[in-house]
A and B are shown apart, each in its own frame.
Chain A
Amino acid sequence: EVQLVQSGAEVKKPGESLKISCKGSGYSFTSYWIGWVRQMPGKGLEWMGIIYPGDSDTRYSPSFQGQVTISADKSISTAYLQWSSLKASDTAMYYCARQHIGYSSSHFDYWGQGTLVTVSS
Chain B
Amino acid sequence: SSELTQDPAVSVALGQTVRITCQGDSLRSYYASWYQQKPGQAPVLVIYGKNNRPSGIPDRFSGSSSGNTASLTITGAQAEDEADYYCNSRDSSGNPWVFGGGTKLTVL
Contacts and interface: CB of A to CB of B under 8 A. Distances in A.
Interface of A: 35, 37, 44-47, 49-50, 59-63, 95, 97, 99-100, 102, 104-109, 111-114
Interface of B: 2, 29-31, 33, 35, 37, 42-45, 48-50, 54, 84, 86, 88-90, 94-102
B48 A105 contact: yes
Contact of A44 (B45, B86, B89): B86
Interface of A is mostly: strand
Contact of B49 (A44, A59, A107): A107
A106 B42 contact: no
| Closest 6 pairs (CB-CB, A-B) | A107-B48, A107-B33, A105-B31, A44-B102, A45-B99, A111-B42
Contacts of A47: 88, 95-99
Nearest to A63: B95
Contacts of B89: 106
Nearest to A6: B42
Given A45-B88, A109-B45, A109-B54, 4 more contacts: A44-B2, A44-B101, A44-B102, A105-B49
A58 B54 CA distance: 27
